[in-house]
Structure formats: C-alpha cells, structure tokens
Amino acid sequence: MEKRTEIRPEEHAGQSPAELPAHLLAGRHAVMEAIKAGRGINRILLADGAHGGAVGELRDLARAHGITVDVVGRAKLDATVPEGVRHQGILAYAAPVAYVSVEEIIAAAQARGEEPLLLLLDGIEDPQNLGALLRTADAAGVHGILLPRRHSVPLTETVARVSAGALEYVPVARIGNIAQTIRALKEQGFWIAGADMAGEESYDRANLTGALVLVIGSEGRGMSRLTHDLCDFTVRLPMRGKINSLNASAAGAILMYEALRQRMAKVQHG
C-alpha cells in the first residue's frame, strides 16, 4: 500500500508550529478548520464556561463527525499547552494520520483484486496492543482496521511509535456502533469471525478466506456479548499451558497469519 501522507500541525496566528506538540491543536479556528479538512480528531477539550456562537458551531461540527467533546476546567487547558500558547478555551487531540472510511478500505482492497480482510477491535484500550496489532496487520496483508470511537484507544503518538511505521500503511476507520457496522458489512457479503477462548472452531480449521472481518476483543473481557452474538462463527486457539489466554496482540497475530496462509494457499491452488 502506498505510504500515507503524514499530517503536520497547523500554524496558529502569532505562534510557530514548534510551540505545540504535533498531536495538539489550540484555538477555535484551528480546531474547526482541522475538522472541516477531514483531519482525524480523537477528542476535544472545551473550557468550562466557554460560550458564544463559535462554541455552538464547534459542538455541532464535532457531533456531526462523531468527535467527543469534554468540558474541563480552564486550568487543565493552561497546564496542557506550552506557556504563551493561546488556546481560547479549546484544545483538540489529533491523530498522527487521518482516519479513513470503511468504504475506502473495502474499495482499495477490491481495486487490488483481493478479498477484503478487516480487523475489528472491540474494546482494545492498551496503545501497546493496538500498535502491535497494526504492525502485524501490515505484515499479514490486512486491508484495514476498524476502531470504535467508544471504549477504545484512539490513534496516538504512542500507538504510532509501537507500530514501528505500520500506521503509515494500514488504514484505520473509526466506527460508531459496532453492531450496526457488523450488520452493514454482512449485507455486503462479509463473514464475521470472532476470537473466543471457547470458540466453536479451532482457528486452523475455520475458513478464513473470502471477504472477512476478524474480531478481537478487549485484553481482559474479550468481545462484548452483542458482538459475540453477531459473529457468524467464533474461533479458538489451543492452550496447553497454565495460562488460559493470550493478550490481544498475540491472539490477533496468530489469526491474521492463519488468514494469510489460507488465502495464499487458495491462490496457489486456484
């Protein structure tokens, strides 16, 4: 996949880009223009008591793009930005790269003549795990990752660092409702396979070819009950030791490579 363009921090009136970390945007104009331009915004902090037409417009814009807005004390904003940076009561945490849509991921896979292989992460909150999953996804030929907006770690500088550059190549889509996303993908012909310690099929016997979504649950709880129930089938990994589970990135790596093995074998045997 072609390398994705790195997003640089916008310039702010009266200050140089170097005054702010790359993942921070300060000021109403900078934040609103970044959203309109399609930049990936993980979260917005709004100072308690901030009001006016611009604030209302920003809230509406954030809501339309599914961006969380948290109201906090102005002291928190002051402590977050370097001295001398005027935040106007508004800060935004930006992703290192832009998010894409699920439709773009699917279209890119189809343009390459490949059956789409997607990774849906249900409740992954550890940036180390997300970064490791991104790195394996790139190596195993996964076409994209679906990352829920709620109860999930967003793309951050830590995730980018742990991914060892993979974030530049593996597209990530932020999704709202997991159940709605799964149902929509099923209507497009996708099969949904969930990783589960008590899965009905062994991972190496399940069919992981074709248009497929692999679902990996959270580090401690696994998939939610609703997500589990929406899976077409669940797969398990054999466990022979004293520990009865693997962490999310290890389990995901095994399943991604099994899917790759099966797809390569299918191509070789026609």
Question: What is the reported pLDDT for 132?
Answer: 96
Residue ranges matching CATH 3.30.1330.30 in the chain: 17-94
Higher pLDDT, 74 or 257: 257
State the CB neighbour count (10 A cutoff) for residue 113. 6
Q: Domain 102-268: which topology?
A: Alpha/beta knot (3.40.1280)
The CA distance from 265 to 105, in Å, is 23
Question: What is the reported pLDDT for 23?
Answer: 84
Contact 146, 119 (CB under 8 A): yes
User: Looking at the predicted structure, is the pLDDT value of residue 8 above 50?
Assistant: no
The CA distance from 25 to 111, in Å, is 35
Mean pLDDT of 98-123: 96
Contact 179, 227 (CB under 8 A): yes
User: Looking at the predicted structure, is the pLDDT value of residue 6 above 60?
Assistant: no
Please state whether beta strands 191-195 and 144-148 pair in parallel, antiparallel, or not at all (unpaired): unpaired
Residue ranges matching CATH 3.40.1280.10 in the chain: 102-268
Mean pLDDT of 190-211: 95
CATH fit for domain 17-94, picks 3.40.640.10, 3.20.20.10, 3.30.1330.30, 3.40.50.300: 3.30.1330.30
User: Looking at the predicted structure, is the pLDDT value of residue 249 above 80?
Assistant: yes
User: Looking at the predicted structure, is the pLDDT value of residue 5 above 80?
Assistant: no
If pLDDT is split at 50, 70 and 90, which confidence band does 270 have?
low
Contact 170, 104 (CB under 8 A): no
Contact 182, 232 (CB under 8 A): no
If pLDDT is split at 50, 70 and 90, which confidence band does 12 have?
very low
Question: What is the reported pLDDT for 18?
Answer: 39
Higher pLDDT, 121 or 218: 121
- Full-model pTM: 0.82
Q: What is the CA radius of gyration of the chain?
A: 20
If pLDDT is split at 50, 70 and 90, which confidence band does 7 have?
very low
Retrieve residue 25's tokens.
């945007």
Question: What is the reported pLDDT for 163?
Answer: 95
Higher pLDDT, 48 or 14: 48
Quick one: what percent of the chain has pLDDT higher than 90?
A: 61
Of 52, 8, 7, nearest to 28 (Cα)?
A: 52
Mean pLDDT lowest among 145-149, 151-155, 201-205: 151-155
